[in-house]
Structure formats: C-alpha cells, structure tokens
C-alpha cells in the first residue's frame, strides 16, 4: 500500500483478508515513562482484542519491565525475550556495516577484537550499541574504542552535533532570528541568540524532565521554562505563536530530537534521552551532590515497578559515569558509598553494582574488588537460598576474570537443589562455552539428578555445542556425555531430548552421531514424529543410511500417516526416484487417512507431476475420502492438469451427497479454467432449496464475484443473474421491469 497516500477512514474497520487479522506493532512501549500511562495502554489493547479478536492481534515491543506490569495481560499472552547478538552475529553485522571500506572482513575482525578486552563487549550485543560503535569506528578507527558506555554516547552525540554544523543550519537559525526580530525588534533578536547559545543545555534539560519528571507538555512550550532568566523572560513584543514557531525551527534542525506527526518533538531513543538527562542531573557540583544523596537509597532498591521508574539502572549508569569522571569533585564520595554497601555484603547493592559493570559503567577498582569479594562469599554460603547463590555467582562474572568457575562449582554441588543447579547451567551457557561444556557433561551423568534436570543439562549442552568453539579435550568430554545420554532409554526422559542430544553430537563426532541417530530412527518404542526427525538428521550425515531408515518408516503401519508421508518427503532431496515411488504407494493406499493420501500426492507433484495428476484425479473421485480432502486434491490438480481438473472438479461439485462448502471449493478451483461450467453449477446450487441457507449464501457471493470478474457467455450470465434475482426476491420477481434495468447494468 503506498504510504504517501491518505489512508481511507474505513480501512481498519474490517480484516485485510478473510480469516486474516491485522497485526499491530506497538513499538517503544518502555519509552512511556509513566507507569499508569503504560497500564492504560495495555488495558486499551486488551479491550480491543476482547471485542475484536478475529480482526486484531498485537505485538508489544519493550525493554525489560517489572514482571508485575505484564502479568496484567494474563497467562494466555506469550512473552518472548529477544536474544542479544552472539559473537558471530556481531562480526557479521560489523562486516556489513563496513562494506564501504576496503577489506570489510578485516575491519570487522579488528573491530570485534578491540572490543573484547573492554567493558563494551557485553553492551555491544545490543543492536543500538553495535550500531553506534560501528559508526564511531568508521569515523575514526585510531581513536577506537571509547572508554566505557558514557564515552560512546558522548562521542556519538558529539558527532550528531557536528553533523548539525556541517549541514550549515546557522543560515536557518539566522532566518528564524530575523523573522522574530521583524516583529519584536532588537530585544527579540537578543533573546533568540541567547536561546541558540544555550540550546544544547536546554535539550539536556528537556530530556531530564521527560524521563525524571514525566513532563509531557509540548517541547516548544516547556523549553523556555527550563532555561535561565534570560531565556525564560521572552520580550513582550514577541507573540506566543512567534515564539513557538522560532523554537520549532530550532528543534527541527537538531539531530538530537525528531519531530512527531503531531508537531511535538521526541528523542530518537530512550538511552540517548537517559544520557542527556544524566548530563543535566550532574551539570554542576550542587546538582551532582543532590544525586549523590540519593545513591544509598538507589543501592537498596528492590526491583519493584516504583523503584524501576524512579531509578532506572541504565540512567543511573550514566549518572555514575559523570560522578566518577575526573574533575567532578564527587567521585571519591560516590566510590566510598558503593564500597561500604559491598563490604557490608548487602546483596541488592552487590547485584546493582555488578549490573552496572555489565552495562559498561566505569566503576573504580576498589568498588569492583569489594563487590567481587562479597559476591564470592555469598555464592559459597550453604545457608543462603540456592537461587540467590546462583545469582551471586552469575553477577561475579561481570566483575572479575572468573569466566564461570563459580557457576560450574554450583552445577556440580550435590548439596544444592536441582532447580538452582539448572539455573546455574542456564547462566553458565551465556558466559563461557569451555566451562559450560565441562560442567554440563558432568552433570548429565550425575545419578543424584532426576531425569528432568538431566534433560535441562542436555538441552543446554546442545546449545553450547552449536554456538561455541570448544577445545579438543572439552569436545571429547561433551561428545561422550551426549552419546551416552542419547543412547540410554529412560521412560522419564522425552525422546525428543535424546534426539536433540544426538543432533548436537553431529557437530562433535559425526561417526558416532550417525550410529546413534540410526539407532533412534529404528527404535519402535519412540514416537514416529521423533523417529522421522532422527532419520532426517541422519540423511545429512550419511545419505544412504538415512534413506534406509526413511523407507522403513514410510512403510511402517505402526507409524502415523502424517509421519509416514513426512518420511517419504524427506527422501526427495537425496533419492527423488525412490521418494516418488514411496509417495505414490502411500497416496493410493486406502488404509491411510484421506489427509495423508492427499499430502503424499502433493509431495509427488514435486518430482513427477504426470503421475501425480493421475493419482489426484482418482482421489477427487474416491468416495471413501473426506470431502474436504477431495476438494483439496482437486485444487492441486487444477495447477497441474487443467483439462483433467475441470472434469474431476465438475464431478465433485455436481454431487449432491458432497458437503456444500466442499462443492463450492471445487467450483472456485475451476472458475479460471471453465467459468461457464462453474457458473452453471453455482446457479443450480442457488436454485436448490434443499441445500442449507449458509451454503446458498456462499454460492451467491461466489457467483456474484464470477459474473463481475470472469468472461462468461451471454446465456451463462443471464441464467446466473436470474438465479440471483430469484434468490433475493423470490419467484415473484422484481416489480415494474426492474430486472431488465439490472440486466442492462450488468451488460447482459
């Protein structure tokens, strides 16, 4: 749809297509800073969905919010976490970004290698930070990387402001000043120049009131109130409208804000707003001291929605960087406050400090060391809740060189609850593949763990193997564990988990993986769908062996029809002739359910359309099949052999014993092939009073569409229109020649 045209008012009143609802993306939900406003938005969406469930679906995109907020949507609304970039994702992203450079692959490798030893490696896994870092590298590789997260935003904002100057916006500003001066005189011009001079600070203050004070007044109205006396006292000769027009012109030329369709201005991203707001909050010693007074309370926040709104950790990170910056005069006191909390083993404070380290905040070494020592102690105290011990061990990895050793210790700790050990396993897989593989391999063979916990360990190890390059010893250890787990039957372990373990084994030891996949594919105690998956994986490793297992499955009457057909389809790529033979056998086998037979014939169309057409014709005429599947067979046949399809579809549509809706499907499938025949069948359906009213109504709709859109013979059009007229007005017909006028309108 061309978006430069005005959308018609009625566009969203109905669905875009039959059975297809609108999918509405609500983006930047977290950028609504007020919790009550967010709640109203969610309630509104919920109400719309309840009233129009068939017409609308919503996707709400947001940064992490307190869980209690999203619980209001109910348990039936799924929540998904967007995975951050993996190292490979980041490398690929950078390579594409550096396409303008000579040898982009080399630059991407250098870029990621330079990030690795810095605190920016973790934040770079988010797309916005990756974008900014790539832009900074592209601009000046010699000054890369910046020192910490705030330095990234500082340089990026500096680039934006430099770009404003490069666009020569001074001419635009001067024109705005001149326009103001023509009405307000010299005083107005002086006021305008003062505003321009202070514009960077005014924009920072605007960011502060937006996220810290929930100020929603239009930017051009609130901006003068944020300045000093010179800015706040606009000359009396300047009207309110002229002042607004001047400020709007200034903001329109700034790269730090974007203009909304309603004429107001907003910041392009929440973290940019946070950075600018933090600059305002720490603009001088007095304002920084006020923030410092709140720091002890911030360290003890409990993650509740109220605390999250007042002290967002991302914003606080920018504030801390400003406090710790040389020359602030407040770094020493801020460091002492953090150290005291860490030395007191205050768990919430330690987690807060570790989270700041992960975000790339530049914390003083004494703070880092004290917090790491406290977290190490918490993780080792048996009396502490197991989940908290795991959280402490995970947080420790953000502060120290410990790449997960403490988490590995907790996984193997038999005195810890199974839930906590599984929690540690999940955390470890995000950090270090070598530690994770060793620890998970050991846990999978631990008899003290219940099968459900071992399943979790196996799944996590499978993920590690796929995403991590492992040393030879660790690969061997992981392969042994996966092989043993996949081969060992256990009624309490899901078969699909064993198969996933075997699939992961293919990346470590293809020979052993092929052996175990063949074993699983032949195991009659395993569900058919899982056996087919095992055989599909085997085909990739060992085509001949995989095909043998697939042939076995396709002919196994103990396997469901759908899985037998899927097994035959899996042979198409490697053994198309064998696959065609198997699919034909399945399609003509009246012991299979009708859906499976039609599905098999659809697979046959991919390798032997002629043979498939003959079988489809037979299926359409087979009274033992479900009516819906017979119609589906006719639709597929229409694409392969139009002449044969017309005969078969006409046979199906003309059968009074067939379900009415399936007869209509048959007619619709032949509309392009034989419109006159289709019109005749529809006319007879409309005239048949013994057919259900809903089917006759559908026939009316289809015939109307056919008359309007297809070239019909004059007798077919006339018969169809008469049938429509009789359906609407009964056998009495229209009064006073109205039918004649109708026929003239329809060109008949």
Residues 237-269 have pLDDT tens digits of 777 777 788 888 888 888 888 888 778 888 888
Which CATH topology does 627-745 take? Answer: 1.25.40
Percent with pLDDT over 70 in the chain: 90
Output the six-digit token pair for 455.
Answer: 């399943």
Supply the DSSP symbol for 571.
T
Q: How many helices (H) and strands (E) does the chain have?
A: 39, 4
- Between CA 247 and CA 265 the distance in angstroms is 11
SS3 23: strand
pLDDT of res. 92: 93
CB-side exposure of 120: number of CA atoms within 13 Å?
A: 25
The pLDDT of residue 56 is above 50: yes
Average pLDDT over residues 466-480: 78
Average pLDDT over residues 53-68: 80
- Between CA 740 and CA 430 the distance in angstroms is 76
The pLDDT of residue 423 is above 60: yes
The pLDDT of residue 307 is above 60: no
- Between CA 189 and CA 176 the distance in angstroms is 9
pLDDT of res. 513: 92
Reported as a single tens digit per residue, the pLDDT across 611-638 is: 899 999 999 898 888 888 999 999 889 8
CA-nearest of 342, 298, 346 to 319 is 298
Average pLDDT over residues 46-75: 79
User: What are φ and ψ of residue 53, in 5° steps?
Assistant: -60, -30
Query: What are the distances in angstroms from CA 525 to CA 387, 502, 520?
Result: 37, 17, 9
- Between CA 45 and CA 39 the distance in angstroms is 10
Q: CB–CB of 602/636 below 8 Å? A: yes
pLDDT of res. 2: 45
The pLDDT mean for the chain works out to 83
Stretch among 74-88, 170-184, 247-261 having the lowest mean pLDDT: 170-184
pLDDT of res. 176: 64
The pLDDT confidence band at residue 653, using thresholds 50, 70 and 90, is: confident
Total residues found in the chain within this entry: 748
Q: Give Cα 232 distance to the centre of its chain.
A: 45
Output the six-digit token pair for 72.
Answer: 């209001």
- b/e sequence 174-184, b meaning 16+ C-beta within 10 Å: eebbebbbeeb
- Between CA 114 and CA 118 the distance in angstroms is 8
The β-bridge partners of 553 are none
pLDDT of res. 28: 80
Cα dihedral sign, 335-341-343-345: negative
* Whether residue 411 has a cis bond before it, omega within 30° of 0: no
CA-nearest of 158, 134, 155, 135 to 146 is 155
Supply the DSSP symbol for 320.
H
Average pLDDT over residues 373-384: 90
Output the six-digit token pair for 94.
Answer: 């950078």
pLDDT of res. 276: 93
- Between CA 678 and CA 706 the distance in angstroms is 9
Reported as a single tens digit per residue, the pLDDT across 115-155 is: 988 888 888 988 889 999 999 999 888 889 988 899 999 99
pLDDT of res. 485: 85
C-alpha Rg value of the chain to the nearest Å: 35
Boundaries of every domain in the chain: 11-71, 87-145, 166-278, 290-402, 627-745
The pLDDT confidence band at residue 3, using thresholds 50, 70 and 90, is: very low
The pLDDT confidence band at residue 173, using thresholds 50, 70 and 90, is: low
pLDDT of res. 735: 53
Q: CB–CB of 317/356 below 8 Å? A: yes
Structure-token match 């989940």, residue found: 387
Neighbours of 125 (CB within 10 A): 16
The pLDDT of residue 607 is above 70: yes
Angle made by CA atoms 448, 453, 457, in degrees to the nearest 5 = 105
Q: Which residue has the higher pLDDT, 743 or 377?
A: 377
Stretch among 14-23, 88-97, 290-299 having the lowest mean pLDDT: 14-23
Q: Which residue has the higher pLDDT, 454 or 739?
A: 454
The pLDDT of residue 667 is above 90: no
Structure-token match 């020979």, residue found: 511
Output the six-digit token pair for 182.
Answer: 């023509």
The pLDDT of residue 601 is above 80: yes
Instruction: Enumerate the H helices of 82-198 as residue ranges.
Output: 87-97, 104-115, 127-139, 149-166, 169-197
Query: What are the distances in angstroms from CA 33 to CA 36, 259, 310?
Result: 9, 19, 10
Q: CB–CB of 282/322 below 8 Å? A: yes
pLDDT of res. 305: 46
Q: Give Cα 649 distance to the centre of its chain.
A: 42
The pLDDT confidence band at residue 306, using thresholds 50, 70 and 90, is: very low
Stretch among 169-183, 510-524, 715-729 having the lowest mean pLDDT: 169-183
Output the six-digit token pair for 622.
Answer: 């087979």
Output the six-digit token pair for 689.
Answer: 């009073």
The pLDDT of residue 210 is above 60: yes
- Between CA 702 and CA 696 the distance in angstroms is 10
The pLDDT of residue 676 is above 60: yes
Reported as a single tens digit per residue, the pLDDT across 530-572 is: 999 999 999 999 999 999 999 999 988 888 888 999 999 889 8
- b/e sequence 24-41, b meaning 16+ C-beta within 10 Å: eeeeebbbbbebeebeee
Neighbours of 279 (CB within 10 A): 23
Sequence-ordered list of residues with C-beta below 8 angstroms from that of 456, at least 6 positions apart, any chain: 422, 425, 426
pLDDT of res. 98: 94
The pLDDT of residue 402 is above 70: no
Q: Which residue has the higher pLDDT, 180 or 213?
A: 213
The β-bridge partners of 25 are 59
Average pLDDT over residues 80-88: 81
Q: CB–CB of 301/348 below 8 Å? A: yes
SS3 526: coil
Output the six-digit token pair for 225.
Answer: 């109130």
Contacts 24+ apart (CB under 8 A), 15-23: 15/54, 15/55, 21/54, 21/55, 21/56, 21/57, 22/55, 22/56, 22/57, 23/57, 23/58, 23/59
CB-side exposure of 210: number of CA atoms within 13 Å?
A: 29
* Whether residue 145 has a cis bond before it, omega within 30° of 0: yes
Structure-token match 């609130």, residue found: 222
Output the six-digit token pair for 573.
Answer: 């790529």
Angle made by CA atoms 299, 302, 304, in degrees to the nearest 5 = 130
CA-nearest of 81, 68, 74, 72 to 307 is 68
Output the six-digit token pair for 442.
Answer: 């050991």
């Amino acid at each position: 749809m061309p978006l430069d045209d005005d959308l018609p008012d009625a566009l969203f009143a109905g669905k875009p297509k039959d059975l297809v609802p609108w999918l509405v993306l609500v983006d930047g939900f977290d950028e609504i800073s007020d919790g009550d406003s967010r709640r109203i938005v969610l309630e509104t969406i919920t109400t719309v969905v309840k009233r129009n469930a068939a017409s609308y679906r919503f996707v709400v995109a947001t940064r992490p919010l307190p869980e209690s907020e999203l619980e209001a949507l109910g348990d039936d609304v799924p929540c998904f976490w967007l995975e951050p970039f993996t190292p490979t994702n980041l490398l690929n992203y950078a390579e594409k970004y550096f396409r303008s450079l000579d040898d982009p692959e080399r630059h991407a490798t250098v870029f990621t290698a330079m990030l690795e030893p810095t605190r920016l490696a973790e934040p770079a896994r988010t797309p916005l930070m990756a974008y900014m870092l790539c832009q900074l590298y592209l601009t000046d590789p010699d000054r890369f990387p910046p020192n910490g997260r705030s330095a990234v935003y500082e340089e990026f904002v500096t680039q934006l402001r430099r770009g404003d100057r490069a666009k020569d916006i001074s001419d635009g500003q001067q024109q705005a000043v001149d326009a103001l001066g023509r009405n307000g005189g010299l005083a107005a011009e002086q006021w305008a120049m003062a505003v321009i001079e202070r514009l960077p600070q005014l924009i920072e203050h605007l960011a502060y009131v937006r996220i810290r004070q929930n100020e929603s007044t239009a930017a051009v109205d609130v901006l003068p109130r944020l300045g000093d006396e010179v800015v706040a006292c606009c000359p009396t000769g300047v009207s309110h409208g002229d002042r607004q027009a001047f400020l709007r012109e200034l903001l329109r030329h700034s790269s730090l804000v974007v203009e909304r369709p309603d004429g107001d201005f907003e910041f392009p991203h929440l973290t940019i707003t946070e950075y600018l707001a933090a600059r305002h909050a720490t603009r001088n010693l007095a304002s920084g001291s006020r923030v410092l007074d709140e720091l002890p309370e911030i360290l003890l926040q409990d993650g509740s929605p109220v605390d999250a709104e007042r002290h967002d950790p991302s914003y606080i990170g920018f504030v801390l960087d400003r406090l710790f910056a040389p020359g602030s005069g407040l770094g020493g006191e801020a460091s002492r406050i953090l150290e005291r909390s860490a030395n007191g083993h205050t768990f919430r404070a330690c987690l807060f400090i570790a989270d700041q380290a992960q975000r790339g905040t530049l914390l003083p070494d004494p703070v880092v060391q004290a917090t790491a020592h406290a977290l190490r102690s918490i993780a080792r105290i048996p009396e502490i809740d197991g989940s908290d011990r795991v959280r402490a061990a995970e947080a420790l990895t953000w502060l120290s060189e410990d790449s997960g050793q403490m988490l590995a210790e907790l996984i193997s700790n038999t005195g810890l609850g199974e839930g906590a050990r599984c929690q540690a396993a999940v955390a470890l897989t995000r950090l270090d593949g070598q530690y994770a593989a060793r620890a998970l391999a050991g846990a999978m063979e631990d008899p003290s763990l219940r099968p459900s916990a071992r399943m979790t360990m196996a799944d996590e190890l499978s993920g590690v193997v796929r995403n991590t390059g492992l040393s030879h010893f660790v690969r061997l250890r992981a392969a042994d564990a996966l092989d043993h787990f996949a081969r060992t039957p256990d009624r309490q372990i899901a078969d699909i988990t064993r198969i996933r373990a075997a699939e992961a084994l293919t990346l470590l030891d293809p020979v052993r993986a092929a052996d175990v996949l063949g074993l699983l594919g032949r195991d009659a105690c395993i569900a058919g769908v899982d056996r087919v998956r095992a055989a599909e994986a085997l085909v990739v490793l060992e085509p001949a062996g995989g095909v043998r297992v697939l042939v076995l499955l396709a002919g196994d009457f103990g396997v469901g029809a759908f899985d037998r057909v899927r097994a035959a389809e899996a042979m198409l790529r490697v053994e198309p002739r064998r696959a065609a033979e198997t699919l034909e056998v399945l399609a003509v086998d009246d012991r299979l359910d009708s859906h499976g037979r039609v599905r098999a014939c659809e697979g046959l169309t991919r390798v032997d359309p002629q043979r498939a057409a003959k079988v489809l014709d037979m299926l359409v005429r087979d009274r033992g099949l479900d009516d819906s599947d017979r119609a589906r067979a006719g639709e597929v046949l229409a694409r392969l052999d139009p002449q044969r399809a017309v005969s078969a579809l006409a046979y199906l549509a003309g059968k009074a014993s067939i379900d009415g809706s399936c007869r209509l499907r048959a007619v619709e499938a032949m509309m392009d092939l034989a419109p006159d025949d289709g019109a005749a069948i529809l006319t007879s359906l409309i005239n048949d009073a013994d057919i259900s009213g809903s089917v006759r109504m559908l026939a009316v709709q289809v015939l109307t569409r056919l008359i309007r859109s297809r070239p019909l013979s004059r007798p077919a059009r006339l018969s169809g229109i008469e049938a429509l007229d009789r359906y609407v007005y009964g056998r009495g017909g229209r009064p006073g020649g109205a039918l004649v006028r109708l026929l003239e309108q329809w060109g008949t």
